[in-house]
Amino acid sequence: MENYEVIVIGSGPAGNTAAYALKEQGKKVAIVESDLWGGTCPNRGCDPKKMLMSGVEAQKRIETMIGKGFEQTPKIVWEDLMTFKRSYTDSVPQNTKEGLDSAEITRYQGQASFIDAHKIIVDDQTLTADQFLIATGQRPAVLPIEGQELLQSSADFLELEHLPKRIAFLGAGYIAFELAIIANAAGSDVHIIHHNDRPLKGFDQELVSDLVEHMKADGITFHFNVDTKAVELMHPNYRVTGEDFELITDMVIGATGRIPNVEGLNLENAGVEYDKRGIKVDDHLRTTKQTIFACGDVVARFQPKLTPVAGFEAGYVVGAMSDEQKAIEYPLIPTIVFGDQRLARVGLSEKELADHPEKYHSQTTDLSSWYTYHRINDQGAKIKIVYDEEENIVAISCLSQLADEVINYLLVILTKKMTHEEVEKYIFAYPSPASDLSYFI
């Protein structure tokens, strides 16, 4: 039986970050992984998705300049784009293992299952530890409908050798939007099917509507207020049906949310409580068992389940496991829907704003005529700023080709509570998104 000071369960961005930091403290550390080393993000999540999106961005950048120096939009060759994606993803598991081995962090491959609060079994090996950190992340949820076994996931999409001519996405969150944008740009006939008429519910509705219209103009078809009842194999196609609805397609991707990876851990044996949202933790990321901590997407929290948030929690929990420190305080967290038009936001959540509409007012500015956006022909560029009763900025949403850059600059300004006069003291490179900042504050 091997004994460790800390065993980390999960080798994604959160688990890996914590394992290295714990080792640097001089602790005897082991890490357990039941699937691909490196976790979801670099293997079958945000990183490969952004690799594919880079092809879309390049294509759409040319498309916006048709008649302005260019004559035709380049075609995406899916197989070549996938080869580019694999130039990154194929090496992730091996690189992760080699990094852990180099740091002398012991690795175990297999499903970890708690025997009690200080003991787990991984395959046939029993391991003990003074403390545990659970960082097992999430996986795609499966819609409970007839024919659910026929649904493919985002992970399946990111491994497609050849792109189907027709693809349907069930759900209208950021994963469905981003994958739909990629598939459409690469030549598929794309449909998004959603049970209500409010896609991307975590984002500003006005700018979401603009994004939907932009995607429609690109050829993506939306089916709102459709309660999908079944998926049927038609050999070789599929039929998606709902009340007064039918669609024939070549692939159906379920993108109806994600669920925490807790099955198989036997958390009950360790006295760790969880629910459908994830593992319950206190404000020190400690579970209901004092010696067991959790961080990353497996945690039941209200902050966005994003890779940077998981990394932030991992950095915090290492200190919390070593000594008493103040409760975790989350900074402002930006969220982004990537595409040729990116939708980004930061600040109070849309739910908080909607719950108290009397406290807030907003202003939407069309940025398309501003030089920064006019020079790249970004005709849909907008920014929406929400103020409280004292005229303090409490939330910002941005829709543009440059929204990710803009929101990160504004994140720093809001965090530092910089005034217009303070921003104007800086000389930024021109033309750039940063050179416009003083006009937003």
Q: Within its chain, how far is the Cα of 76 from the centroid?
A: 24
Residues 73 and 187: beta-carbon distance below 8 Å: no
Residues 129 and 293: beta-carbon distance below 8 Å: no
Query: What distance in Å separates the CA atoms of residue 12 and residue 33, rounded to the nearest whole number?
Result: 9
Residue 257 assigned to a binding site = yes
Query: What distance in Å separates the CA atoms of residue 420 and residue 268, rounded to the nearest whole number?
Result: 53
Strands 29-33 and 2-9: parallel
By C-alpha distance, which of 363, 22, 37, 35 is closest to 204? 363
Residue 15 assigned to a binding site = no
Residue 178 assigned to a binding site = yes
By C-alpha distance, which of 40, 71, 78, 39 is closest to 56? 78
Query: What distance in Å separates the CA atoms of residue 352 and residue 350, rounded to the nearest whole number?
Result: 5
Residue 10 assigned to a binding site = no
By C-alpha distance, which of 154, 133, 127, 67 is closest to 377? 67
Question: From residue 248, how far is each of 167, 177, 375 by CA, in Å?
Answer: 9, 20, 41
Residue 172 assigned to a binding site = yes
| 268: helix, strand or coil | helix
Omega before 260 within 30 of 0, i.e. cis: no
- Per residue in 161-178, is it b (16+ CB within 10 Å) or e — as a string? eebbebbbbbbbbbbbbb
Residue 120 assigned to a binding site = no
Residue 314 assigned to a binding site = no
Residue 19 assigned to a binding site = no
Strands 138-140 and 166-170: unpaired
Q: Within its chain, how far is the Cα of 154 from the centroid?
A: 12
| 308: helix, strand or coil | helix
76: DSSP letter:
P
* Rg of the chain taking only CA atoms, in angstroms: 23
Query: What distance in Å separates the CA atoms of residue 203 and residue 293, rounded to the nearest whole number?
Result: 31
Residue 270 assigned to a binding site = no
Q: Point out the annotated binding site.
A: 50, 171-178, 257, 297
| Positions at the binding site for NAD(+) | 171-178, 257
Binding residues for FAD: 50, 297
